[in-house]
Every structure is written in structure tokens, then in C-alpha cells.
Structure 1
Amino acid sequence: SIRSRISFDAGGNWLPLRPPGKDSSGGNISCQPGLCALHLHDATFQDKFVPFYSYDKAVGIIMGVGNVGPQLSFEPQDANTYLSRDGGYLWQEVKKGVHIYEFGNHGAVLVMADILAATDEIIYSLDEGNSWKTVHLSSKMNVTNILIEPRAISTKFLAYGTVGGAGVVQFLDFDAMGWLPCKKPEEPGGQSDYEVWSPEFGGLCLLGTKRTYVRRKPLSECFNRREVKLPMISVPCPCTRDDFECNVGFQVALDSRNCVKSSMPLVGSVGPAEETEAAECRFRDTYSVEMYRRIPGNGCVGGFVPPRYEAKCPQGSNEAAGAGAGWSLTRLVLLVLAVAVLVYVARSERFQDCWETLASRARNVDFKPVGTTELPGIPRYRAPSIARF
């Protein structure tokens, strides 16, 4: 059996997808208590299902095909189409059956169509899935895919497929609605067409950072300017246990979220455990190792300080270090004794008398110049002459 899980901290923790409480018709969704979750298809069976999909230009919006239950079903009649507008935290069923979908204009336009049966309907939403409308085609077609330009900022789409074995392309242009460009992205809220949104996955901090995005209000009847750059503000949060994972050599305890020693070798503070032991175990019987490490990409500061693990040094690892330390201590003692002897001798009266005698003899020495006598066979040095012209 296959079950879907989602992580909001780069894989630190994995949670089931929350199922919607109502279906697209407004009825209650029945599900076995304790086993009720939403499960989505990936790209494995694209001939029957559509993989979940998101785009960086459509902030927070995800669409997928799957089912609510204890596990993922591979029967097309069990599959429906779902949407989340908060990064996968909450989901809603938007249409019964399997549909192909595409986003446009920074998520302001959502387009989908039935992919398993011939249809003459293209379904679209201009309010991020709160309501859906239908465009009727002149004839039914088997829709293969819906495309938009690579950056997904346009309002023009292509729906292509087949009719009776022949290829067909339908062009959809939402600019024809005549909506004006959205106003005041730099002043979200109030009279602006934009709102401020932050991911709230059990808290306001995601990977140690509170990110605030500006995006179009769902009910604003306007389109984003195609080249608009909507701001994003990032502020670091205080660290918590959720911002850390177990380091190499440790694992999460079964009965808690604390890290405990595993069977894997440790990684020390200066590299592999052997190098750390050689550096740390010279004068001690234990050395300290980090049990936790910050999740990659996490930007938290301060706050939680993870505990460290005191590892025992291998037996006899500090004996050689002790012998080396003893020899070093012996050399130090000998050096101190030598200096003490020199100081004692220098300050003794006998040494001072000898030193004064040598100094007086040096003062009475009669130094005479050697003179300029030329040695036989060696010419005397003469300064070079200067030629005058």
C-alpha cells in the first residue's frame, strides 16, 4: 500500500495530508477514524492519473489528483481533483474525477479539463478555486494536456487533444474578459488588490524563518501585471527542537523526539571519530560530540541549544599520551634546573671576582696599530685614478 506524506521542514518530520471535510458537492466525506488522510498520485501512472503540481510564481497553490482514505487507490473511479492554496496545509476537493490542470498569471487563473473521457468543457477559476466556471467547446474532444508559456505569467492557454483520432488545439485567452491590472502590490491590504500571506504549518516559522508573501486577493477582479515582482519578506525565528535533526551516529528514540546513540560510527568535532579521539583523548577519558545538527537550509538564530553527547575514549588511548606528557614534564624540570644553576653561579661572589679581574685586564691591554707596512709579494692597495679629458 502507498500513503502520501508531506514535510514542512525539509524532511525533518513527515505528516499525513489533512483530508477535506466536504466534497466538491458540499456533502460530508466519510472516512474511517484514525485512517483518514488525503493521498495524491505522482508521475508513475500518467495514462490514468495526473501528478500533483505547483509553481513558484503561484505562491502557495498546489493541485493534485487522489483520494481520501487509508491508502492511495489506483482505481480511476475513486480519484478526485484537489487544491490547496496554503502550501499543502489544508486541502479542498474542487471536482469529481481526474482532471488535467494548469496555472496562469501568478496563480490568478486556474484551468482544468477531464482527461479520462471526451468532454466539451474547459473549467476555470479566477479566485483560486473558490468558484469554478465552464467554457463550452463546439464539440467534444479527448484532452491530452493544457499548456501555458514557460513562466506561467500569461493569461493565454492551449488545450490540445484529439477528436476521432485527429489532433485538435483549443486556444483560451482570458485577456478578452477586459479585467484591468491589479493595483498597489507595494501596499497590500486595505484598498489594495493584494494581501499578505504567511505559511502557517503549525506555526509561523518554516525552516527557522518567517516568510511573508504578497499575492493577489482571491476575489480581486484584476490580473497581475506579467512582469510584476511581488515582494517577500524573510525574518529569522528563534531556534526550536524542530529546527534540528539527529547527527550522524545518532537516531530518534522510539518513545520520544530525542536523539540517542545508534550503531553507526560517530563524527567528531574535527572530522572522523579517530581524529577526534586522538585530539581529545590525550588528557581525558571522554570527549564531547554534537548529537544534533541544524537542518540544511534552516535560518533560525538563538533559542534552543541542543545537548551534546559525552563519548568514552578507547581503553588505553591516553596511556601513550601520558608517557609523552611525562617526558615533556621531565624536560621542563631539567630546563628550570639549568636556569636556576646559571642564576646561582652568576650571583655568587667568586664568579663576580673572576669577572672583574677579566674586565680589568681587558682595560690594561695596549692596542697598537698594525701600520701600513707592505707584506712581501703583496702590492699595496691604491685608489683608482680618474681620467681627465
Structure 2
Amino acid sequence: MLPLSDPTAVGLVIAHGSVGDSISSTRPDVYVSEDGGYKWRGSLRGPHHYSILDAGGLVVAVEAHPMDGQINTIKFSTDEGQCWKVYNFTEQPIFFAGLTSEPGTKTMNISVWGYRPEDDHQPIWVVVTIDFQSLLTRECGNQDYVQWLAHATEGGDLATEGCVLGYKEIFRRLRKLSVCRNGRDYVVSRQKSPCPCTREDYLCDYGYYRHENSSECMRQLDTADHALEVCLNGEEEELRTSGYRKVPSDKCEGGFTPLRRKETVNRHCGNSSQPPTPTASPYFETPREKMLLIVVYVGSGIVILVAVAAAVYTVRRMVYGNRAPTYRFSVLQLQDDDRSIAADPESVASSNGTSVFQVDSDDVSVISFSMVAKGTQDFQDNLCA
């Protein structure tokens, strides 16, 4: 099983391992750490399945590989694995399949599920849920908690004890000897405070390095005779530093504050020898300017359309004047192959004896045509064929 920890159980880590200079081929044991992994303590012999309950106030474990392959007991601890007790949860052993706590690690319930063979050799699945509320009946009070400084080491400086990236955290956690329950409403309490800056909060700057087992930054020999120059966006900057630059995201305050500043030199650098051309600021950035631009465009379009329409109207007046239109009509004949108007009206009048009319649109409103009916029957027959 993989190492186990949870944000609600501050500092508690459970994992399998062995003691030695290298990984052992023997069966691993269960180890528990109460300070986030700095120190470990042996807790159970052999591999186990384990789970954290009640925000770290209760730890349960089930043996992973029993002798006969079946289990009927579960182990639990109320002091972070220092002392374990055994509880028999079923009279009929089962083959273990899984261990789960729902919902999350703040619950007091643990479910053990597995299967057992029946008389017909068919397995039947079994789930047993154990409620530990009858064991831990007392609610924890203020006297059951203690202040714990994360990342603290023995014999360290009080000012920088537990400092990581420039700040320290103090958590409120349950005492090991307190037999009580945190409850579902338990919320982890923490206090953050900045630390004074030290050399460990800084990296060595460009052109500097640290000796082995030393926190002081030394100047490299090949950069000792000239100033450090940095090319940034085509502008050359000269770096004035005492050899330190702060670690990114470090939140330390005061303390060790080395000198570091940049001075811009009026020299251009990079691929281009010419100074960068300044770009003009774009116009029409505000909403009012954008609206003015739209109005100008629309007005210009309307003026252009009006000018084109006026020009077309003027040309038509000059070409046609005030003349009334005159219409010429001719007789259509079905005998014509192209069924169109005859090109020569006089030839049509002489051939079929029908008059050609030329009328002015102001004098006549109704015009009658005389049609030649010859060939109508043949046309209808062709349509029905």
C-alpha cells in the first residue's frame, strides 16, 4: 500500500519500509511519522492496509497477508500508532478485498469488504461497517490540543526555527494521550508569521557562486575585472550587486538585506544595432472615439450613394428629355418558325392583309389584334401527341 497522509491530520504520515542502507527484499513493516516525515517510528510488523479516521484521532489497520488468507479482526490506535488494540468484527472469517472510510477522513466509520465461500463453493460478498463512536464518546476540548511548529528541529535558532521560504506555520493538533473525538466539524487551525531574512533565503547572483558547505556567495574569478552587463529588450543594463538575489516566492522580512540594483546604460544591444522604433499609440481606443469613427463611415457612404443617384438622374434627363414613349406593335403569326415579331412591319401587312398599328400611349388605352387561326389544330395535335 502507498504512503498515506491527509491535510486534516497535520504531520501524520503512514508508510511501509525497512531499516537499512538500501531497499530490503524481506517483507516491509509499517512505520509512522508524526512530524511530516522527518522522523519515523516502527508501528506494525508485516504489511497492512491502513486508514486515517477522525482527522488523525484514530488510525485503523488490517493485516494484508494472514497465514490462512482470511481475516476477522481489525487493529485500531488512538495515539498515532504508538499502541494498537484488536477488535473482532465477525465470527466467520472473510477473504479481505478492501478497506474504505466514507465520507473522507473526518468520519468515525470504516467499512471492510471481502468474500467468503459457501457450501456450494460459490463466493458471497460481505461488507462490514464498524462505527467507532461508541469507543470515542467524549468530544475534544481546548485542553486536548497542543501547538505544533512545523519543520522544527531540535537545537535550532528560535528566530529561524521552522522557517521555510521565509515564513513559519504553527498548527493546533490533538495530543497523543487524549482519548476523544474531533468530530465532523473539526477545522485545522494554523498561524503564519514571517521570518527574518538570512543568506539561505537568497541565491547567488550572476557571476557568483557558493563554496561547498558555505552560505556565502563568492565572485567568480573570470568576472572580477569588469561589471556585469545584462541585455534586456535591446537596452543594456549594468548590474550592481553584492552577490545575492532573493529566492522566488520567499516571504522573509528584514534581517539580511544585501545590495542589488540595476542601472540602465544608454547603449543598445542584441541583434539590432539601431535603436528600436517607437510604435505609435493606436487611435480610437475609447468608446466615444469608436462611435465617432462609425458615424463618419456611415455618413460618407450615404453621401456617396446620393451623389451617384443624382448623377444617374441628370444623365437620363439629358438623354431622353421630356419625350413621351412611343410603342410599335405588329401581328404575331403561328406560322412563323421563331414565333417572334416580324422584322419588317410593311412586309407583314402585305402578306396577310392585316394592318399594322402604331399608337401613341397618350391616345389609346386598349388595342385589339386580329390573329390568323390557320394551323391552330395542328399545334394542339402536337401538344397531345
Q: TM-score, normalised by structure 2?
A: 0.55
**Runs of 5+ consecutive residues of structure 2 not aligned to the other structure:** 118-122, 154-160, 221-228, 276-385
Corresponding residue of 1:243? 201
Aligned-residue RMSD, C-alpha: 3.8
Deviation at 1:251, TM superposition (A): 7.0
The alignment status of 1:279 with 2:230, answered yes or no, reads no
Measured against aligned partners, the alpha-carbon deviations of 1:62-90 in whole angstroms (never above 9, x if no partner) come to 100111111233x3x34110001111122
Corresponding residue of 2:82? 130
Judged with a 3 Å threshold, the aligned counterparts in structure 2 of structure 1 residues 146 and 259 are, in CA distance, closer, same or farther, namely farther
Corresponding residue of 1:59? 10
Q: Which amino acid aligns with 1:242?
A: E
1:139 corresponds, among 92, 100, 103, to: 92
Q: Across the two proteins, how many residue pairs are aligned to each other? A: 248
Measured against aligned partners, the alpha-carbon deviations of 1:276-314 in whole angstroms (never above 9, x if no partner) come to 782325xxxx66597543253x43212223576999x9x
2:113 corresponds, among 160, 185, 202, to: 160
Corresponding residue of 2:23? 72
**How far apart, CA to CA, are the structure 1 residues paired with 2:103 and 2:91?**
28
Deviation at 1:254, TM superposition (A): 4.7
Judged with a 3 Å threshold, the aligned counterparts in structure 2 of structure 1 residues 200 and 120 are, in CA distance, closer, same or farther, namely same
Q: Which amino acid aligns with 1:278?
A: E
Match of 2:236, SS state, is helix
**Larger RCO, structure (CA 8 Å, separation 6 or more):** 1
Moved over 6 A (4+): 247-251, 315-318
1:228 corresponds, among 186, 193, 206, to: 186
**How far apart, CA to CA, are the structure 2 residues paired with 1:52 and 1:181?**
29
Match of 2:185, SS state, is coil
Judged with a 3 Å threshold, the aligned counterparts in structure 2 of structure 1 residues 251 and 195 are, in CA distance, closer, same or farther, namely same
Conservation of the 8 A alpha-carbon contact between 1:113 and 1:122: yes
Match of 1:181, SS state, is coil
Corresponding residue of 1:89? 38
Judged with a 3 Å threshold, the aligned counterparts in structure 2 of structure 1 residues 97 and 242 are, in CA distance, closer, same or farther, namely farther
2:149 corresponds, among 198, 203, 206, to: 198
Judged with a 3 Å threshold, the aligned counterparts in structure 2 of structure 1 residues 304 and 276 are, in CA distance, closer, same or farther, namely farther
The alignment status of 1:299 with 2:251, answered yes or no, reads yes
The percent of aligned pairs where both chains have the same amino acid is: 27
Judged with a 3 Å threshold, the aligned counterparts in structure 2 of structure 1 residues 306 and 201 are, in CA distance, closer, same or farther, namely farther
Deviation at 1:206, TM superposition (A): 3.3
More displaced stretch, 133-142 vs 252-261: 252-261
**How far apart, CA to CA, are the structure 2 residues paired with 1:247 and 1:122?**
57
Conservation of the 8 A alpha-carbon contact between 1:280 and 1:287: no
Q: TM-score, normalised by structure 1?
A: 0.54
Deviation at 1:225, TM superposition (A): 2.5
Deviation at 1:166, TM superposition (A): 4.5
Measured against aligned partners, the alpha-carbon deviations of 1:7-38 in whole angstroms (never above 9, x if no partner) come to xxxxxxxxxxxxxxxxxxxxxxxxxxxxxxxx
Conservation of the 8 A alpha-carbon contact between 1:115 and 1:142: no
Q: Which amino acid aligns with 1:293?
A: K
Deviation at 1:257, TM superposition (A): 4.6
Conservation of the 8 A alpha-carbon contact between 2:52 and 2:105: yes
Match of 1:242, SS state, is helix
Q: Which amino acid aligns with 1:112?
A: A
